[in-house]
Every structure is written in structure tokens, then in C-alpha cells.
Amino acid sequence: MSQSQVLVGDLLITVEAELVELGRLAEQFQAVLGPAMLRAADDFACHQEAQIIDLITQRLYGLSDFMRALRPSVPEAWSVDPDPAASVVTLADLSCRLRGVPEQPSTHQAGEFEAF
């Protein structure tokens, strides 16, 4: 396997982990936003927006379950070069994870402001 090749099963694990983390963040967002949404429950449009957040959370977890269930059916020896696909991902840390590059330790101090 060349340097830029990764096992498809490993890539599926990475994508699954990203989806799980996004689902967790969406749940956290729901928990924070939930009380405000309840106060605005009489507003139909606001109620619909709250349902969209829940749908996003459910879909993220559904996709992670799909990736987990798909992994055993992929032949163990299959590999792919993730670099071309990862190069279109504009978030550098996500792009690195999808390439299989080990995560670099954060240089930010706890409590330090971080701009996105």
C-alpha cells in the first residue's frame, strides 16, 4: 500500500466518528437552545426550526449507524487514496483526519479565544 493509501474500512471508521461527534454537538446545541425554543413554542415557524435541529441530529446518527453497519461488508484489503477528496474539505483539521494524518496537539491555552 502506498504512503497516500488508507484502508477503506479505516476511512469508514473515521467518517463514522465524525458523524457521531457532529450528532453529539447537535444534541448539545439542542440542549442549549431547547429552553429558548420552548419559550417561543407558540411561534409555528420557531417550532419548525426546533424540529429541523432534531432531524439533523437524527440523520447524523443514522448516517453513523449506516457507516458502522457497512464496514464489515468492505473487503479488508481495499484501500483508497483519500487525498483528492480530502483536499476539497476546507476545514484543515477535518481534512487531515480524513487523510489519516495524526491530529496535532492544540497550541491554544484553555480559555483562550479561538476564531474560526
Each domain of the chain, given as residue ranges in start order, spans 6-99
Look at residue 78 and tell me whether its pLDDT is greater than 80: yes
DSSP state of 114: -
Look at residue 1 and tell me whether its pLDDT is greater than 60: no
Q: If DSSP codes are grouped into helix, strand and coil, which group holds residue 79?
A: strand
Look at residue 57 and tell me whether its pLDDT is greater than 60: yes
Mean pLDDT, all residues of the chain: 85
E strand or H helix at 7: strand 6-7
- pLDDT band at residue 16, thresholds of 50, 70 and 90? very high
pTM of the model: 0.77
